[in-house]
Amino acid sequence: MSRTPRKKINISIEPELYEEALKLVETGDYRSVSHFFDQAGKKLAREKLSERKSENP
């Protein structure tokens, strides 16, 4: 199975947020900090798009 091409970006985050993400990675819930932010971004995007759809049916 081929992997979906990814866009690489650089982000700046607060050290506290990085440490929180790293702790979640260490639990095994995420493969890496990058995977955590990828999943967080997807969740946030879905929530925002869902809100907009419900506001403008």
Report how far apart, in Å, the C-alpha atoms of 10 and of each of 1, 17, 55 are.
27, 15, 32
In this structure, is residue 9 part of a structural domain?
A: no
44 part of a folded domain: yes
Q: Is there a domain that residue 50 lies in?
A: yes
Question: Which domain does 37 fall in, by range?
Answer: 15-55
Residue 26 located in a structural domain: yes
The answer to whether position 47 is within a domain reads: yes
CA–CA separation, 44 and 13 (whole Å): 16
In a domain, 5, yes or no: no
Confidence of residue 1 (pLDDT cuts 50, 70, 90): low
Residues 17-56: pLDDT tens digits?
999 999 999 999 999 999 999 999 999 999 999 988 888 7
Give the chain's domain count: 1
Any domain includes 27: yes
Instruction: Supply the pTM of this predicted model.
Output: 0.77
Would you place residue 57 in the very low, low, confident or very high pLDDT band (cuts 50, 70, 90)?
low
How many angstroms separate the CA atoms of 52 and 33, rounded? 29
Establish if 3 belongs to a structural domain. no
Is 25 within 8 Å of 33 (Cβ atoms)?
A: yes
